[in-house]
Each structure stands twice: as structure tokens, then as C-alpha cells.
Amino acid sequence: MNQPYPLPATDVIIEYKNCVKEGIVLITRKYNSKGKIALPGGHAELGLTLEDNAVKEAKEETGLDVIIQNPNRPWVYSDGNRDPRGHYISNTYIATGTGTIQAGDDAATATLYSLDEVVNLLDKNKFAFDHEDIVKDYLRHRRVL
């Protein structure tokens, strides 16, 4: 992609619990990530706020309804090398999810991982893009790391 400027995107860390476990929902994508684990998210769409875009992407990719916990205060990731497709600026939100997890849109899978399971995925080249860095920031924020 030949872009003259960075493009905005949204990613969502969805906190979710069911009767079996609690943790965060991660996906694998049908395209662009070679089967690696990713956060739900996507390109910012014209006419939507970043928060609305994050809610839309979460619903499309995981089937969950989400409530953003940090509206107007996303975590911003802007390294020009964070995504091999081009220079994207991720506005990352933390959200609480409700409903039934079901992969959709360009997500091949959507899975609930306990925080211990997420920690065990780290430093093994399992994540797409820079999502491992984002997840590590989240785990530090939650005082898991």
C-alpha cells in the first residue's frame, strides 16, 4: 500500500467472563496475519467516532456487544513499522464484552483466553503486528506482569 500519511485504526482489548473462565478475547484473522493471534479491530471508518468504530469492529469480529472503559482516552500506538501493510495508528480501547463469542467478518476464530493463558503466549512469536506489545501494556496495566 502506498500511503502518503498514516491511517487511523482501532483495536479493542475485550474483557469477558463466562461461567467457566474470565480473561480477554483474541482472534485469528482470515487475512493479513498468517494465523497469528490478534486483537479485534480494523480501519477507522468515515463518519464514525473512534469509539463507535471500536464497538463496531468488536461486534463484527467477536459477536460481542462491548462497552468502552476508556472513551476519549485510547492507548495510541503509532510506530510506522507496527503493521507490515502500511503506517497505521492504532487507537486501542479496553472494553467489557457481553453476549456469546462468535467469530465473524474477517476473523477466522474468536477465543476467550485467561490472563494466565495470555501470559503463556508471550515471547513466542504468536501475535500479529505489534499486538503483543499492546497486550503486554494491558497486562502491566492490570498488574499481571
Domains of the chain: 7-139 (3.90.79.10)
pLDDT score of 30 more than 80: yes
Summarised one tens digit per residue, pLDDT across range 54-107 is 999 999 999 999 999 999 999 999 999 988 888 999 999 999 999 999 999 889
Inform me whether the pLDDT recorded for 1 exceeds 60: no
Rounded to two decimals, the pTM is: 0.94
- Residue 79, C-alpha cell as written in the block: 510506530
